[in-house]
Each structure stands twice: as C-alpha cells, then as structure tokens.
C-alpha cells in the first residue's frame, strides 16, 4: 500500500483513481480543477481532496496525472501551484496524459533536477477500459523507477510495458493513434460502400469480423456507425490533438505518414460539421452527409 495522489478526475482519471483506492488499496488524495468532481470522488471512494496539485502532491510516494494536453500538464506540474513544487526526493511522478514526447523528456529532466523521477505512461482502452481497470499502458523512463511504479499502475491496467527511456511511452501511443486513424477510415469506407451496395451490414460484419479485416473498431463501433450515433466515446477534438502531436513528431523524425495526415484533415471536416465531441468513428458521417 502506498500514498498516492491523482491529478485530473476526467472521463479517464476519475475511474483510474477509484481503482487505486479500491483494487489497489492505496491511500489516495485527489485533485481536480473543478472541485465538484473531487467532492463527488471522495464521496464515492473515501480518501481526501486538495485544492491544488501542489497540496495534493505533498508527502506522497507517487503522483499520477491524467489531464488534457501539454499546456495543462505543464500547469499541474511546473506551475506555481504545481505538483513538482512539493514532491520529495525519491518519489515518482507518473503521467497518463496523451502528450508530446518532448514534454515527457522535459518533465523527466525537471524531476531529476529536484531529486525524484518521472515516467510517461499514456493509456489506450478508452472510457470502458478505465472503468473496468483494463487499460493498456505504454511507459517511458528509468527501468528501476518503472519497476516501482508498475505494481501501482496495475490497479487499472491489463498490460503495462516499459518501451524505453523518457518519451518512449508517448512515442508508442503515437503509433497506437496512427493505427486507429487508418483503421477507422477504412471501416467507415467499407460500411458506407456496403450501404450503397445494398448489403445487410449485420450479416457483413458478422462474416468479415471472423477474417483478416477484424479489428477492435469493427467489433465495437460498426453498429453505432451504421446507425449514425456518435454522442459518446473518444472525442474528435482529442483525436485531433493526438494527431497534431503525431504529425509534429513525424516532421522531426522524418517518418512519412500520408494516410494519417489525410485522416487528420477528415477529422477537421467532422469538427466543421459540429462533431467536436463526437466519437472518432464519426468519420463515416462526412461520407454520408
Ligand atoms: N477519453 C478517452 O477515451 C481517452 C483514451 C485514452 C487517452 N485519453 C487521454 O487522457 C487524457 C484525459 O482524457 P479524458 O477523456 O479523461 O479528458 P476529460 O474528461 O476532458 O478530463 C480532463 C481532466 O483534466 C483536467 N484539466 C484539464 N486542463 C487542466 C488544467 N490546465 N489544470 C488542471 N486540470 C486540468 C480536467 O479538469 P476539469 O474537470 O476541471 O475540466 C479534467 O479533470 C487526454 O490526454 C486524452 O487524450 C483519453
């Protein structure tokens, strides 16, 4: 059992922090920018909340975070009320935000200067994965530090892997998002085509999902894509944030990502249709408008 702070009780962070308290049996202190969620969390899981990341991070063994983007992360760590102002020597910061590899390296260096360590640990598996405690976690950082953090992360993970040094977790998450972009567009085109061709989409998916075209997106999203329902899931705005990070990294490392760049533009069109908060499977909506 450890003393753990969790910063950011959003769609992902709220249930993740809950698993730390219930399944992990840890002593958990939470922080959320808007206090209502922190109050609700403490009502549901016990523990306590603090008004700033700095206060929440005081005298903890581990500080976990899951906020929005690089700027948000910088604010909750390096800001005047940030967690890094309070973290003691030998403690560990674990970041579950999907952010750039650059900020992961920046935070690892800032932590080292202050005598503690940081691990970048973005997740895959969505809201359901967080609620059921079965996320896939991709980590970057020092191996000895990772070995200490992994049993704590296990409270909400089905798979957790150290990919390499600081930033490597974020680079792995970028690969994850590149795969998803291409797969969802392919699935959207197939379903759009099937409807035009007059095929029974139920029969189609129950057949081709048993073959080489099978994917998580196909199994979990085809029904709502056919029905044109997108008010749930992983928001297009978040996906565009992620693809922006991916394309910036590709400009640096020289990778060629033509399909990812194209799908990013398709998501911009979905945003223009009003789909900022729609699930990423809404790529089919721009084909059917
Ligand atoms: N949702 C998914 O399916 C999914 C899957 C994998 C990865 N992710 C990634 O996980 C991260 C969180 O996603 P989410 O879906 O949980 O988002 P969310 O529901 O919008 O929650 C974001 C959380 O970050 C907090 N926050 C944002 N900016 C902040 C700031 N400047 N200072 C302090 N707190 C701040 C928010 O506080 P308030 O409550 O006050 O707004 C909220 O607690 C993102 O990086 C996302 O890309 C999401």
What pLDDT is attached to residue 189?
98
Question: Element (H or E) spanning 25, and its range?
Answer: none
Question: Element (H or E) spanning 22, and its range?
Answer: none
Domains of the chain, with CATH numbers?
Answer: 3-165 (3.40.50.720), 172-288 (1.10.1040.10)
Which of ligand 1's atoms lies nearest the C-alpha of 97? Answer: 45
**Measured in angstroms, how far is the CA atom of residue 75 from the centroid of ligand 1?**
13
Integer Cα distance of 173 and 5 in angstroms: 24
pTM: 0.96
Length of the chain: 289
CA atoms within 13 A on the CB side of 208: 16
What pLDDT is attached to residue 146?
98
What is the chain's mean pLDDT, rounded?
Answer: 98
What pLDDT is attached to residue 125?
93
Band (22; pLDDT cuts 50, 70, 90): very high
What pLDDT is attached to residue 179?
98
Please, what is the Cα angle at 57 between 52 and 60, to 5 degrees?
Answer: 155
What pLDDT is attached to residue 222?
98
Please, what is the Cα angle at 280 between 279 and 283, to 5 degrees?
Answer: 115
**Which residue is closest in CA terms to ligand 1's atom 17?**
10
CA 231, chain centre distance (Å): 19
Tens of pLDDT, residues 179-224? 999 999 999 999 999 999 999 999 999 999 999 999 999 999 999 9
Active-site residue, from 3, 173, 203, 223: 173
Tens of pLDDT, residues 85-125? 999 999 999 999 999 999 999 999 999 999 999 999 999 99
Band (50; pLDDT cuts 50, 70, 90): very high
Q: Count H helices and E strands in the chain, helices first.
A: 13, 9
Average pLDDT over residues 139-145: 98
| Sequence-distant (≥ 6) Cβ neighbours of residue 241 within 8 angstroms | 68, 69, 98
Integer Cα distance of 31 and 41 in angstroms: 10
Instruction: Determine contact, residues 91/111, Cβ cutoff 8 Å.
Output: no
Which of ligand 1's atoms lies nearest the C-alpha of 127? Answer: 3
What pLDDT is attached to residue 278?
97
Among 67, 71, 217, residue to substitute to test ligand 1 (most atoms within 8 Å of Cβ): 67
What pLDDT is attached to residue 73?
98
**Measured in angstroms, how far is the CA atom of residue 224 from the centroid of ligand 1?**
24
What pLDDT is attached to residue 25?
98
CB atoms within 10 A of CB 163: 19
Q: Which residue has the tokens 């976690």?
A: 137
**Measured in angstroms, how far is the CA atom of residue 259 from the centroid of ligand 1?**
27
| % residues pLDDT > 70 (the chain) | 100
Structure tokens at 96: 């579950």
| % residues pLDDT > 90 (the chain) | 99
């Amino acid at each position: 059992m450890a003393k753990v702070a969790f910063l950011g009780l959003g769609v992902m962070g709220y249930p993740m922090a809950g698993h730390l308290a219930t399944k992990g049996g840890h002593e958990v202190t939470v922080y959320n920018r808007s206090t209502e969620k922190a109050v609700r969390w403490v009502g549901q899981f016990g523990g306590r909340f603090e008004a700033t990341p700095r206060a929440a991070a005081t005298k903890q063994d581990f500080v976990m975070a899951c906020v929005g983007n690089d700027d948000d992360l910088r604010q909750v760590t390096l800001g005047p009320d940030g967690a890094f102002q309070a973290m003691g020597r030998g403690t560990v910061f674990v970041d579950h935000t999907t952010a750039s590899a650059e900020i992961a390296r920046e935070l690892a260096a800032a932590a080292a200067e202050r005598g503690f360590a940081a691990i970048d640990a973005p997740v895959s598996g969505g809201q359901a994965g967080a609620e059921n405690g079965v996320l896939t976690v991709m980590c970057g950082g020092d191996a000895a530090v990772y070995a200490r953090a992994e049993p704590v992360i296990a409270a909400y993970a089905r798979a957790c892997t150290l990919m390499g040094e600081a930033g490597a977790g974020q680079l792995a998450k970028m690969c994850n998002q590149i795969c998803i972009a291409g797969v969802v567009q392919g699935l959207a085109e197939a379903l759009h085509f099937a409807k035009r061709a007059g095929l029974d989409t139920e029969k189609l998916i129950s057949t081709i999902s048993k073959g080489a075209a099978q994917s998580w997106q196909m199994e979990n999203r085809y029904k709502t894509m056919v029905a044109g329902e997108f008010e749930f899931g992983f928001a297009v705005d978040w996906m565009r944030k992620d693809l922006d990070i991916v394309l910036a990294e590709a400009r640096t490392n020289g990778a060629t990502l033509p399909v990812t760049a194209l799908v990013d533009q398709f998501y911009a069109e979905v945003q223009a249709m009003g789909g900022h908060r729609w699930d990423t499977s809404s790529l089919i909506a721009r084909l059917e408008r």
